[in-house]
Amino acid sequence: NSAATVGTSAALLVASPLANRNKIIIQNNGIAPIYIGTSGVTTANGIKIAGGANAELNLNASAAVYARCAAGTVDCRILESAY
């Protein structure tokens, strides 16, 4: 488990992925939406996670996930799983 603060620039959510990761859950603990995607994620092209919502993605450890918000900062939680 880890925590991240998402700001207005694209930021890597997990710097050291779990070995053999096959799933990642990203929870938006804030009120404002966050947007996830590749390193070039924007509020126009990212996948929106509304405030209080989460996203579950089937991703291996080599897949990097970035996030940003439109203004201010947003608190997030990240859970990775492997088998």
**Rounded CA separation 18/15 (Å):** 10
**Rounded CA separation 10/83 (Å):** 29
Q: What is the mean pLDDT of each run of 10 residues along the chain (83 residues)?
A: 96 94 97 97 98 96 96 97 91
| Whole-number pLDDT of residue 63 | 94
| Whole-number pLDDT of residue 83 | 83
Q: Is 49 exposed, middle or buried, given 0-12, 13-18 or 19+ CB atoms closer than 10 A?
A: buried
Global pTM value: 0.94
Q: Longest Cα pair distance anywhere in the chain, in angstroms? A: 37
| Whole-number pLDDT of residue 76 | 97
